Amino acid sequence: MSADPDLRAYRRIVVAFSGGKDSLAALLHLLDIGVPTDAIELHHHEVDGRGASFMDWPCTAGYVGAIAGHLGIPVYFSWREGGFARELDRNGTSTAPIRFETPTGIGRAGGFGRAGTRGLFPQTSADLRVRWCSPALKIDVLAAAIRNQNRFFDGRTLVVTGERAEESPARAHYARLERHRTATAARAVEHWRPIHDWTEARVWKMIASSAIRPHPAYVLGWGRLSCRTCIFGSPDQWATIRLLFPAAFDRIRRREAATGKSIHRALDLDRLAERGHPFPAATLHPDALAQAEDARWRLPIILTPWSLPAGAFGDAAGPT
């Protein structure tokens, strides 16, 4: 495939939209090069399965919805029933079914696979066989949404994601344009990474031009938006979580204590946090802190005057 697609050839463009800076920059780039809003749809996967907060930022789905509303682009939410917690606790049962919003309602797929057992937190690896959170709660969820809607047989689909080569050696080797994993002879789906060669500086410049408020995680000091209690969390991230979000920290700590299996290969949560220092910006933004814990989005989505968040160009611990 050529490096870039002919965007006029697609019936729809599906943006896998986490709410992080890179997926936001990819979306804004589409608009900047003239893709009409009615050709785009956002898809966001809710890691906690619409249950109680366990791993993810409580505000993220609301933030995604606020951006979609501001830009006038439809957003479809999807999730695996029970989310991360149910998959982690799976013991002799099948992986839970997937739910996904559609233009006409909520679809359901899966839940009939082979019985299996988890018990261990995902491992900090580029190998998705052991870093099971990414496929089980994100990649497979989007694939199920595409495979189980007949509308994706009608015309070509382009899936857009925001991975960048600068993020990790593994991502540097990703193809810019390739056949999507859901493609078949009857279902034409390609996968494009339009900002694969962008620097972080270019990403923030694009977001600044839109004046869209960055996710609260960046304002509080995080350099990347993953789950709040991401398995890749650095010592500084864990020290910040312990300070700002003690209940979220304790949920993981209690899980470690009950099972004897830590989120990190060698260190339990307390030792991880002890090795770090809270981000300097962590206590300077009470509005961002309050919003981070609130599932209902309450802040203006446009930030005036716009300012670069404290986490920009900072702690970049996250999926490889």
Question: The CATH number of the domain where 141 resides is what?
Answer: 3.40.50.620
Contacts of 160 (CB under 8 A, 6+ apart): 13, 14, 15, 16, 26, 27, 30, 191, 192, 193, 194
Candidates 282, 269, 279; CA nearest to 231 is 269
Q: Is 285 part of any domain?
A: no
Q: Is 33 part of any domain?
A: yes
Report the number of distinct structural domains present in the chain: 1
Q: Is 127 part of any domain?
A: yes
Candidates 288, 308, 167, 283; CA nearest to 224 is 167
Q: Are 214 and 208 within 8 A, CB to CB?
A: no
Q: Is 36 part of any domain?
A: yes
Question: What whole-number percentage of the chain has pLDDT above 90?
Answer: 90
Would you say residue 200 has pLDDT above 70? yes
Rounded to two decimals, the pTM is 0.96
Q: What is the pLDDT of residues 259-295, one digit of tens each?
A: 888 899 888 999 999 999 999 999 999 999 999 999 9
Q: What is the pLDDT of residues 206-241, one digit of tens each?
A: 999 999 999 999 999 999 999 999 999 999 999 999
Full residue range of the structural domain in which residue 82 is found: 7-200
Q: Which two tokens stand for residue 203?
A: 């990403």
Q: Are 100 and 78 within 8 A, CB to CB?
A: yes
Q: Is 221 part of any domain?
A: no
Q: Is 292 part of any domain?
A: no
Q: What is the pLDDT of residues 148-172, one digit of tens each?
A: 999 999 999 999 999 999 999 999 9
Candidates 101, 98, 76; CA nearest to 87 is 98
Q: Which two tokens stand for residue 8?
A: 């006029």
Residue 317: what pLDDT? 84
Q: Is 187 part of any domain?
A: yes
Q: Are 257 and 188 within 8 A, CB to CB?
A: no
Q: Is 63 part of any domain?
A: yes
